[in-house]
A and B are shown apart, each in its own frame.
Chain A
Amino acid sequence: MDKKMCWILIFVTIAVNVVMVQWTVESYLGQEFNQVVIYSGISVVSAFIAFFVFLNWRKLEYAEENQQ
């Protein structure tokens, strides 16, 4: 995975998480608890993806600098 893909993935996870927060709150207010858990689960997975992609980006970014 190159750095450009890392940027793309991180921004995709932001978009996913914004939508999931909205849907989670809506479902919570509607007492649709099964859906709250589903949306929240997707959101947490997305957050983990963002974290690991960020770690990967950091490795690539600073490895490049160290080589110079």
Chain B
Amino acid sequence: MTNECKKGRNLKNSKSDMVNLTKNVDQKDDLKYNRRAFLKTAAGASIALGLSTVPFSVRAMMGMAEEENERVEIGRLDQLGEGESMTFNYPTDNDPAILVHTVNGDLVAYNSACTHLMCPVFYKKEEDILLCPCHKGYFDVNNGQPVEGPPQRELPLIEIEVENGIVYATGRKYRHG
């Protein structure tokens, strides 16, 4: 091979011996699928995979710059008996959430979109558990962790405070427990 055809060394009219093997009936395939092409594809795949994470880090840096969640009133505690639940939205109107007064007397709140396919979860008083009826996903009401069914991640925990009989949402944790 000479330097004259350096740029076209993998083309059909190349002067490379590799390309112009005599009686090569599979010349087209040999040009496309060979050791060199394989490594080039592998390197390209590695670079593409590496760069595909950049948008996530850009969004993450934008997310880090966002303001802390504000304190929002959910409702009055005396209107929520033990074994009952109520829905609200936190931190935005597009984030449905559920406040549960468990049969043990604890107050817990989670975003109620199931971490499987975003169906709303409900509190099942008889079993003291959170249920997603779409695909029978169950979450532990005490910590929001999935205990049965397809969900793999816990429900986002909403931090609450009770002051003068009024329940407030003060923050949200995605990873907890």
Give A residues with C-beta under 8 Å from B.
6-7, 10-11, 13-14, 17-18, 20-21, 24-25, 28-34, 36-37, 39-41, 43-48, 50-51, 53-54, 57, 61-62, 65-66, 68
Query: With A13-B46, A33-B63 as given contacts, are A43 and B1 in contact (CB-CB < 8 Å)?
Result: no
Q: Taking CB as reference atom, which chain A residue is nearest B59?
A: A28
- Contact between B56 and A28, CB atoms less than 8 A apart: yes
Query: With A28-B60, A36-B56, A44-B54 as given contacts, are A65 and B46 in contact (CB-CB < 8 Å)?
Result: no
**Within 8 Å of chain A (Cβ to Cβ): is B42?**
yes
In the bound complex, residues from chain A placing their C-beta under 8 Å from that of B94 are none
Give B residues with C-beta under 8 Å from A.
1, 3, 6, 9, 16-18, 36, 39-40, 42-43, 45-47, 49-54, 56-57, 59-61, 63-64, 153, 174-175
In the bound complex, residues from chain B placing their C-beta under 8 Å from that of A28 are 56, 59-60
In the bound complex, residues from chain A placing their C-beta under 8 Å from that of B42 are 10-11, 14
In the bound complex, residues from chain A placing their C-beta under 8 Å from that of B56 are 24-25, 28, 36, 40
Q: Taking CB as reference atom, which chain B residue is nearest A36?
A: B60
- Distance in Å from the Cβ of B8 to the closest Cβ of chain A? 13
CA–CA, A17 and B52, complex, Å: 9
Jot down 14 A-B pairs with beta carbons below 8 A, ordered by A.
A10-B39, A14-B42, A28-B56, A28-B59, A30-B153, A31-B63, A36-B60, A40-B54, A40-B57, A44-B54, A46-B50, A54-B39, A54-B43, A65-B16
In the bound complex, residues from chain A placing their C-beta under 8 Å from that of B50 are 13, 17, 20, 43-48, 50
- Contact between A31 and B43, CB atoms less than 8 A apart: no
